[in-house]
């Protein structure tokens, strides 16, 4: 229920008392392992810049060339006069990267998921989603007015009974779950989708650029193609270091989205300079495999060190390494204690994660160094796990 205007202050007080109040931090320079935040230089482990491309000089140069050529703003929606040659070239290159006939740009990943689900599903249809899906996937189903049915996390056996009955069906899942770092069981989901004649949509925001050959993502990791996963959603503001998102699929799918996806039709196109920057970051991500290799080496180093310290990490082989605290108060306390040591790791609290599973969401970038990982481990050790000071508050689902 939306509080009345006179009650807003009371609702804000309630959030503060529940340790759920949020305040933006101010970044005072470029993204990187040691950004300047709120006037202080910190070693950060909470960015999604997995390949270290957000401040890459070649990407910056491409952005500047794009601004010189196209100006700053696109000035209109794609279907009016906002679709530049830079947008067109990026869509073609993303289609080639993902091995699909077409790709379509959206302003954000949130808008991509809203657009594709609401364009393909409606009243009388059914959308099945993993219980831990990103909010944009859940909201896309709600916006479509289809029946939303949620299955137990990463459990194909829980999904199977939901596919009985009539009505067009769509199954939607994260490829890599943004708060847990684990992978969806995509081969099993693909088999269920094909058996039920249902669409399968995979939002690979946190897999593209990181997993698979050339960073083609979680589908490449499992050896799946367009026949098994007909709808692929990807974002550009994580491993590729820029901004925006895309949907890749068949020609018929993309043409349908152009005609029916409201979040595409009624939105100003992203700046063409961002598209030019993304074209460069995509080229770097594809050719510089050492970035993924370094990232995996850093993850292995961290997990090995965490095991020696007795840290109860969740089961993740991706750059997302959650340390579950349980309560929002405990997660905030850990985050504050780390910040006092010069390390920034954000506390993630409900409703972003389920009640009782507030956590530190530790993330790594190819721009980190081994000594950065060691410094983080030393700081985490100071929280007192060796002496069992905090283990009673930990809730591990895996």
- Is 5 inside a domain boundary? no
pLDDT surpasses 60 at 263: yes
| Stretch 267-280: mean pLDDT | 98
pLDDT surpasses 80 at 4: no
pLDDT surpasses 60 at 391: no
* 206 is an active site residue: yes
| Stretch 47-60: mean pLDDT | 98
Q: Are residues 117 and 228 in the same domain?
A: yes
Q: Are residues 161 and 131 in the same domain?
A: yes
CATH of residue 309's domain is 3.90.1150.10
Q: Which of 239, 259, 287 is the last residue of a domain?
A: 287
Q: Are residues 314 and 253 in the same domain?
A: no
- Is 84 inside a domain boundary? yes
DSSP string spanning 30-81?
--SSS-EETTEE-EE-----TTS-TT-HHHHHHHHHHHHHH-S---SBIIII
| Stretch 224-228: mean pLDDT | 97
- Residue 347 contacts residue 23 (beta carbons within 8 Å): no
Q: Are residues 23 and 92 in the same domain?
A: no
pLDDT surpasses 60 at 256: yes
Q: Closest Cα to residue 172, out of 132, 215, 207? A: 132
CATH of residue 207's domain is 3.40.640.10
| Stretch 228-251: mean pLDDT | 98
Q: Are residues 35 and 127 in the same domain?
A: no
Catalytic residue among 47, 74, 178, 263: 178
For the chain, what percent of residues have pLDDT higher than 70? 95
pLDDT digits (tens, 9 = 90+) for 311-329: 989 999 999 999 999 999 9
- Is 6 inside a domain boundary? no
Domain that holds residue 304: 18-47+289-393
Sign of the C-alpha dihedral, residues 84, 88, 89, 91?
positive
Q: Are residues 90 and 169 in the same domain?
A: yes
What's 344's DSSP letter? E
H/E segment holding residue 139? helix 135-144
H/E segment holding residue 45? none
Q: Which of 256, 287, 318 is the last residue of a domain?
A: 287
- Return d(Cα 177, Cα 84) in angstroms, integer: 33
Domain count of the chain?
2
Q: Are residues 279 and 297 in the same domain?
A: no
| Stretch 232-250: mean pLDDT | 98
Three-state secondary structure call for residue 354: coil
Output the pLDDT for position 1.
Answer: 63
- Is 52 inside a domain boundary? no
| Stretch 63-68: mean pLDDT | 98
Backbone angles phi, psi at 55, to 5 degrees: -125, 25
Catalytic residue among 238, 263, 335, 357: 238
Output the pLDDT for position 390.
Answer: 46
* 398 is an active site residue: no
Q: Are residues 282 and 323 in the same domain?
A: no
- Is 2 inside a domain boundary? no
pLDDT surpasses 90 at 2: no
Q: Which of 267, 287, 307 is the last residue of a domain?
A: 287
- Is 182 inside a domain boundary? yes
Q: Are residues 216 and 73 in the same domain?
A: yes
| Stretch 304-312: mean pLDDT | 94
| Stretch 141-169: mean pLDDT | 91
- Is 147 inside a domain boundary? yes
pLDDT surpasses 80 at 189: yes
For residue 28, the tally of other CB atoms under 10 A from its CB is 12
Order of strands, sheet of 347-348, starting from the edge strand that comes earlier in the sequence: 320-326, 358-363, 347-348
Quote the tokens at residue 39: 């006037």
Rg (CA), the chain: 21
Q: Are residues 108 and 257 in the same domain?
A: yes
**Please, which pLDDT band fits residue 166 given cuts at 50, 70 and 90?**
low
Q: Are residues 302 and 187 in the same domain?
A: no
- Is 8 inside a domain boundary? no
| Stretch 167-188: mean pLDDT | 94
Q: Are residues 275 and 295 in the same domain?
A: no
């Amino acid at each position: 229920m939306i509080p009345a205007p006179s009650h807003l202050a009371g609702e804000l007080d309630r959030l503060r008392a529940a340790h759920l109040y949020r305040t933006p931090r101010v970044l005072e320079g470029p993204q990187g392992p040691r950004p300047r935040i709120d006037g202080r230089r910190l070693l950060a482990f909470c960015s999604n810049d997995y390949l270290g491309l957000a401040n890459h000089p070649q990407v910056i140069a491409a952005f500047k060339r794009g601004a010189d050529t196209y100006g700053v703003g696109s000035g209109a929606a794609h279907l009016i006069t906002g679709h530049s040659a830079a947008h067109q070239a990026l869509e073609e290159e993303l289609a080639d990267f993902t091995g699909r006939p077409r790709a379509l740009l959206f302003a954000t990943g949130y808008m991509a998921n809203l657009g594709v689900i609401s364009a393909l599903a409606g009243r009388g249809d059914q959308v099945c989603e993993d219980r831990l899906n990103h909010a944009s996937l859940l909201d896309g189903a709600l916006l479509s007015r289809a029946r939303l049915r949620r299955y137990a996390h990463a459990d194909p056996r829980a999904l199977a009974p939901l596919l009985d009955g009539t009505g067009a069906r769509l199954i939607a899942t994260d490829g890599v779950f943004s708060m847990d770092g684990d992978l969806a069981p995509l081969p099993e989901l693909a088999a269920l989708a094909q058996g039920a004649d249902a669409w399968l949509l995979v939002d690979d925001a946190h897999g593209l650029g990181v997993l698979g050959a050339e960073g083609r993502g979680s589908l490449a990791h499992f050896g799946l193609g367009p026949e098994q996963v007909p709808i692929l959603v990807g974002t550009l503001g994580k491993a590729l270091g820029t901004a925006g998102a895309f949907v890749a699929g068949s020609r018929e799918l993309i043409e349908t989205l152009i005609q029916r996806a409201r979040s595409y039709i009624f939105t100003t196109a992203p700046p063409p300079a961002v598209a030019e920057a993304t074209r460069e970051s995509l080229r770097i991500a594809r050719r510089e495999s050492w970035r993924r290799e370094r990232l995996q080496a850093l993850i292995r180093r961290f997990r090995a060190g965490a095991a020696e310290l007795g840290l109860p990490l969740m089961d993740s082989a991706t750059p997302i390494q959650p340390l579950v605290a349980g309560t929002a108060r405990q997660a905030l306390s850990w985050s504050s204690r780390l910040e006092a040591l010069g390390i920034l790791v954000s506390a993630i609290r409900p409703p972003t994660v389920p009640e009782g599973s507030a956590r530190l969401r530790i993330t790594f970038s190819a721009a980190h160094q081994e000594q950065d990982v060691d410094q983080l481990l030393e700081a985490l050790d100071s929280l007192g796990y060796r002496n069992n000071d905090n283990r009673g508050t930990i809730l591990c689902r895996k």
